[in-house]
């Protein structure tokens, strides 16, 4: 597993954030910090961290409320969440898990335990095609070497087309609007016209060639989908 995963630490107590950040950075992770659920939500939409460590008890909006909000939003629904809390009772753990968190660590905890639990959740949450090669009808994308081949012959793609193809190949048979693709592929903090998606789709199809361009399908009135089935 890549050691440069980005983790967002959400806690209203700076010393706790600092302690966690030191432990995670020593383990090779990049850390972001937020002191409130509102600040965290903005950072999550803009930067899409690989993992969120979320304190339960915070002023204004609790960690549980933020977790529920993230799970309802398609853009943030799949980001793994570990809840950090002093509430150790079984009832509270159940409440946290029902809100959609992936794991639950009771304070106080050792940095070693935190890193081990974080690695376990990331391992479960990493879909095929993020770190492992994914293949469809002779078209193979390898995210580690950043190469795409069609029947073992290399295909040249720009960085945006590569990300677009990677997203499509790991999210098949579902139609996405241009706005959704901008959020998922370009990121929530990038402000570009929705028609920009059309330009990159056209480039991607051209690069894929006659053998594979049919996989990227136009869905009238909606946007695009990637599918091996006839549109």
pLDDT per residue as tens, the chain (231 positions): 444 789 999 999 999 999 999 999 999 999 999 999 999 999 998 888 989 999 988 888 889 899 999 988 877 888 899 988 876 666 766 776 777 788 888 888 888 888 988 888 877 666 555 678 899 999 999 988 889 999 999 999 988 899 899 999 988 999 999 988 887 787 654 566 788 899 999 999 999 999 999 999 999 999 999 999 876
Q: Is the pTM of this model over 0.85?
A: no
Integer Cα distance of 128 and 117 in angstroms: 20
pLDDT, position 188: 55
Claim to verify: residue 87 and residue 150 sit in the same structural domain:
no
Residue 83 — left, alpha, or beta (φ > 0 → left; ψ -120 to 50 → alpha)?
A: beta
8 Å CB contact between 107 and 86: yes
| pLDDT at residue 90, rounded to an integer | 66
| Domain membership of residue 207 as a residue range | 134-226
Domain shared by 139 and 117, yes or no: no
Tell me, yes or no, whether 214 lies in a domain: yes
Upstream peptide bond of 108 is cis (omega within 30 degrees of 0): yes
**At a CB cut-off of 8 Å and minimum separation 6, what does 91 contact?**
none
Domain identity same for 118 and 145 = no
The verdict on 68 and 28 lying in the same domain is yes
My answer on whether 161 and 218 are in the same domain is yes
Residues 99 and 59 in one domain: yes
Residue-level pLDDT at 13: 92
């Amino acid at each position: 597993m890549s050691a440069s995963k980005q983790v967002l630490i959400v806690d209203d107590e700076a010393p706790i954030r600092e302690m966690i950040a030191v432990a995670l950075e020593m383990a090779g992770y990049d850390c972001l910090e937020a002191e409130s659920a509102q600040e965290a939500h903005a950072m999550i939409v803009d930067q899409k961290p690989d993992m969120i460590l979320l304190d339960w008890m915070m002023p204004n909006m609790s960690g549980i409320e933020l977790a529920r909000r993230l799970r309802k939003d398609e853009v943030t629904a799949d980001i793994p969440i570990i809840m950090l809390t002093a509430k150790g009772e079984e009832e509270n753990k159940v409440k946290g898990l029902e809100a959609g968190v992936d794991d639950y660590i009771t304070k106080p905890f050792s940095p070693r335990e935190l890193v081990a639990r974080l690695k376990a959740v990331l391992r479960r949450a990493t879909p095929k095609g993020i770190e492992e090669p994914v293949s469809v009808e002779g078209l193979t994308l390898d995210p580690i070497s950043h190469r795409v081949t069609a029947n073992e012959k290399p295909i040249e793609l720009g960085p945006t087309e590569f990300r677009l193809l990677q997203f499509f190949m790991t999210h098949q048979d579902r139609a996405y609007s241009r706005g959704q693709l901008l959020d998922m592929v370009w990121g929530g903090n990038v402000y570009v016209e929705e028609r920009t998606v059309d330009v990159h789709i056209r480039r991607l199809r051209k690069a894929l060639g006659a053998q594979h361009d049919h996989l990227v399908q136009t869905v009238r009135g909606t946007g695009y989908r990637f599918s091996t089935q006839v549109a």
